[in-house]
């Protein structure tokens, strides 16, 4: 019974959209759309040895946020809130990220917070900003994500479970390591080693091809950082502007020789699971009416997002449940979607979700995924926005979905439209 609902209902009747819902409705442009005007990411580099191995997460974030100001040329004072998804930082990284925003050039008046929904933190950050804008709490905001797995990955990420948690079987399952439970899931759901290796090899091949063609150029913000040469021990400044996890010439056969990592007779190994990596990504969002007022070019719009829970031991099936839910929220079907960016936590779970949902392989991760260039936990959800929107724009396609599974048994998905 809100005035806005009545207005949009009338608008739909008028816009001549001869269509009751679905894709055509998604493509309509309205002043209250939540749009993305800049989306960017740093390069993603190998944990412990890549270009960012000595760079703090907050420094990566400061670089990405400064990149947002430089590329959008927006007055930083207009940005009212920044949400940063980050998973491993002690204390949630709240202090460092506030400091990073100040370093990047945002005034004290720009609020900052961090959040942690594990592997979907970056997406959750974007969704939170979109919802704050939609609710009228802020006008302009940045959803972001960052992770330095080089510096912050390790056993300290989870504290000991209490007896109470251990006494509840499903609760105790929440701390089963992701590799172990995915191995079990692959076995239970009959996802063969060969099919996983083929999927993983395709990810490498697609990413290598995209990198060679320069398809990541638009989304990657080059960053100058300090790097300690592991051989000579000397510290020098380098510019990191490409994903260093991507390897050319990977085939299903070459992956077939790698030993399984979690069980002797297992199927999951370093070559068909996501890489441990460092990186940051950020997305500048506002209403379409605000973008027009500020002269910001629209890259795409955020439509809706879903979040679901699944059994902790089957966390890999998260996208399988989250994607249909976001379809329900938006009134579209899988045929209306041009590109799916589904995080490749493990080839096994990504492949299972895609097969179960009946998604055509050519629509999934056309520039490769986390298996090829890495999965900096908090960064991934925000990274997918850049990867998706630039690819949709380049290919003249429109509707995209980003999705990922989430540790402890959850899934998220979001629908985006490129313009």
CB 373 within 8 A of CB 114: no
CA atoms within 13 A on the CB side of 262: 21
With contacts defined by CB under 8 A, name the span among 9-17, 168-176, 251-259, 293-301 that binds other proteins.
9-17
What is the C-alpha separation between 310 and 405, in angstroms, rounded? 10
Task: Tell me the β-bridge partners of 143.
Answer: 83, 283
Nearer to other proteins, 3 or 135 (CB): 3
With contacts defined by CB under 8 A, name the span among 7-15, 61-69, 72-80, 382-390 that binds other proteins.
7-15
CB 119 within 8 A of CB 345: yes
Nearer to other proteins, 333 or 395 (CB): 333
What is the C-alpha separation between 263 and 38, in angstroms, rounded? 43
3-state secondary structure string across 121-189: HHHHHHHHHHHHHHCCCCCEEEEEEEEEHHHHCCHHHCCCCCHHHHHCHHHHHHHCCHHHHHHHHHHHC
With contacts defined by CB under 8 A, name the span among 8-16, 94-102, 301-309, 402-410 that binds other proteins.
8-16
Question: Among all chains, which residue has been given the structure tokens 């021990």?
Answer: 233
With contacts defined by CB under 8 A, name the span among 6-14, 141-149, 358-366, 377-385 that binds other proteins.
6-14
Nearer to other proteins, 5 or 234 (CB): 5
Which among 119, 126, 350, 353 is annotated as catalytic? 119
Nearer to other proteins, 18 or 164 (CB): 18
What's the closest the beta carbon of residue 28 comes to other proteins, in angstroms? 12
Q: Is 375 a catalytic residue?
A: yes
Nearer to other proteins, 16 or 230 (CB): 16
- How many residues belong to the site for other proteins (CB under 8 A)? 15
Question: Among all chains, which residue has been given the structure tokens 């083929």?
Answer: 198
**If binding is defined by CB under 8 A, does position 194 make contact with other proteins?**
no
Write out the H or E segment, with its range, that includes residue 322. helix 318-330
Residues in 93-112 at the binding interface with other proteins, rule: CB under 8 A: none
Question: Among all chains, which residue has been given the structure tokens 């902790």?
Answer: 312
CB 51 within 8 A of CB 238: yes
Phi and psi angles of residue 272, each rounded to the nearest 5 degrees, phi first: -120, 25
What is the C-alpha separation between 283 and 384, in angstroms, rounded? 10
Residues in 11-40 at the binding interface with other proteins, rule: CB under 8 A: 12-14, 16-21
What's the closest the beta carbon of residue 21 comes to other proteins, in angstroms? 8
What's the closest the beta carbon of residue 18 comes to other proteins, in angstroms? 4
What's the closest the beta carbon of residue 2 comes to other proteins, in angstroms? 9
CB 277 within 8 A of CB 46: yes
Which among 350, 353, 379, 405 is annotated as catalytic? 405
Q: Is 405 a catalytic residue?
A: yes
Nearer to other proteins, 22 or 324 (CB): 22
Active-site residues, by number, are: 119, 375, 405
- Which residues form the interface with other proteins (CB under 8 A)? 1, 3, 6-7, 9-10, 12-14, 16-21
């Amino acid at each position: 019974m809100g005035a806005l609902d009545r207005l949009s209902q009338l608008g739909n009747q008028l816009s001549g959209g001869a269509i009751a819902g679905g894709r055509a409705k998604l493509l309509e442009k309205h002043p209250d759309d939540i749009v993305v005007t800049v989306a960017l990411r740093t390069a993603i580099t190998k944990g412990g040895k890549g270009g960012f191995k000595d760079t703090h997460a907050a420094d990566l974030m400061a670089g990405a946020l400064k990149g947002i100001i430089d590329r959008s040329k927006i007055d930083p004072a207009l940005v009212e809130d920044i949400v940063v998804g980050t998973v491993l930082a002690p204390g949630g990284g709240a202090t460092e990220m506030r400091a990073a925003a100040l370093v990047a050039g945002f005034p004290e008046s720009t609020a900052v917070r961090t959040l942690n929904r594990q592997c979907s933190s970056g997406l959750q950050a974007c969704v939170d900003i979109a919802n704050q804008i939609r609710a009228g709490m802020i006008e302009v905001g940045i959803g972001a994500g960052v992770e330095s797995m080089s510096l912050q990955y390790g056993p300290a990420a989870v504290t000991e479970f209490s007896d109470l948690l251990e006494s509840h079987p499903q609760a105790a399952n929440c701390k089963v390591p992701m590799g172990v439970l995915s191995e079990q899931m692959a076995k239970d759901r009959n996802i063969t080693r060969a099919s996983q290796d083929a999927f993983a090899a395709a990810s490498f091949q697609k990413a290598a091809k995209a990198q060679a063609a320069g398809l990541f150029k638009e989304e990657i913000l080059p960053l100058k950082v300090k790097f300690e040469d592991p051989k000579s021990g000397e510290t020098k400044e380098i510019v990191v502007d490409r994903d260093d996890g991507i390897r050319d010439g990977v085939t299903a056969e070459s992956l077939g020789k790698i030993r399984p990592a979690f069980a002797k007779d297992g199927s999951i190994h370093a070559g068909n699971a996501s890489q441990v990596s460092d990186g940051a990504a950020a997305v500048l969002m506002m209403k379409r009416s605000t973008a027009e007022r500020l002269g910001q070019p629209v890259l795409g719009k955020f439509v809706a997002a879903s979040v679901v829970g699944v059994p902790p031991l089957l966390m890999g099936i998260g996208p399988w449940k989250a994607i249909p839910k976001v379809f329900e929220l938006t009134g579209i079907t899988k045929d209306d979607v041009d590109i799916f960016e589904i995080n490749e936590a493990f080839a096994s779970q990504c492949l299972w979700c895609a097969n179960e949902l009946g998604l055509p392989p050519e629509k999934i991760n056309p520039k490769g995924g986390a298996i090829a260039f890495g999965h900096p936990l908090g960064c991934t959800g925000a990274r997918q926005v850049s990867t998706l929107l630039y690819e949709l724009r380049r290919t003249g396609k429109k509707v995209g979905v980003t999705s990922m599974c989430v540790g402890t048994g959850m899934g998220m998905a979001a629908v985006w439209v490129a313009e």
